[in-house]
Amino acid sequence: MDKRNLKFKTTEGFITYFDQNLATLLSDVPTLQTGAGITLFSELFNPEFIGSAKLKLDSSVGIAEKDIKLSDRIFITPKDLRGFQSRGVGPVDGGDHVGGNYLVSLSLKSTFPNPLPEIVRPTTFLFLDTANVWGVDYSDRINESNKIRSSLGIGIDIVSPLGPLSFSFSNIISKAPSDKVQNFTFNIGSTF
């Protein structure tokens, strides 16, 4: 359900989703994947301060008590948890992050007045991201540091002729010893 006032640079409203997939036809391990999320947008102090809160919940479980495949596991992306590498958070097996059966993430974000020239059409923002991925069903020997990870940072989104550009710098607040950190993130060509 999409009740945002604008699809791009939203200032008010919300968007929610619920998604469920049953992988049975082409998979030798039947898996039920479920995802739900909501993002709320609201003006905070004045039109230059637009706040948003994004909550995401995912699960991936085997049917008939079978362990799910690595390709069906859930991984946190830098889009959900800035400051950490893609596939660099969660349960570890033999030094490799293997993803988990469950994920929860919460991101709080606020835009603030632009210090850059308006010709590059920038949007500057502050953020606080928290997340965790946990649950591995195939072994008891997995190093599963079931810990909330969090980061605080600043970022900028720019609309360029190449497409959207996004830069963020994160300061890690909490992490597990096995997590792979990436304080600076740059994305090109995807929506904000």
What are the residue boundaries of the structural domains of the chain, listed by start?
A: 13-188
Binning pLDDT at 50, 70 and 90, where does residue 162 land?
confident
Rg (CA), the chain: 18
Task: Reduce the secondary structure of 30-80 to three states and give it as a string.
Answer: CEEEEEEEEEEEEECCCCCCEEEEEEEEEEEEEHHHCCCCHHHCECCCCCC
Query: Is the pLDDT reported for residue 158 higher than 90?
Result: no
CB 157 within 8 A of CB 186: no
Number of Cβ atoms within 10 Å of the Cβ of 113: 9
For domain 13-188, give the fold: Porin (2.40.160)
Residue 140's pLDDT band, with cuts at 50, 70 and 90, is low
The Cα–Cα gap between 23 and 66 comes to: 13
Share of the chain above pLDDT 70, in %: 93
Look at residues 111, 189, 116, 115 and name the one whose alpha carbon lies nearest to residue 154.
Answer: 111
Classify strands 163-174 and 92-93 as parallel, antiparallel or unpaired.
Answer: unpaired
Q: Would you say 172 and 148 are in contact if contact means Cβ atoms under 8 Å apart? A: no
State the pTM of this model: 0.88
Of the ranges 6-10, 40-44, 75-79, the best mean pLDDT one:
40-44
**Comparing 155 with 72, which gets the higher pLDDT?**
155
Report pLDDT for 106. Answer: 98
Nearest to 152 by CA among 128, 183, 180, 174: 128
Rounded Cα distance between 59 and 101, Å, is 5
Instruction: State the amino acid at position 27 in one-letter form.
Output: S
Does the CA dihedral 93-99-100-104 come out positive or negative?
positive
Q: What is the pLDDT of residue 25?
A: 65
Note the pLDDT of residue 191: 55
pLDDT digit string, tens, across residues 63-88:
877 788 888 889 998 889 999 998 89
Contacts for 6 with CB less than 8 Å, ≥ 6 apart = none
- Interval 86-132: pLDDT, tens: 889 988 888 888 889 999 999 999 999 887 777 777 889 999 999 99
Number of neighbours of residue 179 by Cβ within 10 angstroms: 21
Q: CB pairs under 8 A, 24+ apart, for 6-12?
A: 8/191, 8/192, 9/123, 10/41, 10/50, 10/52, 11/41, 11/43, 11/47, 11/50, 12/41, 12/42, 12/43
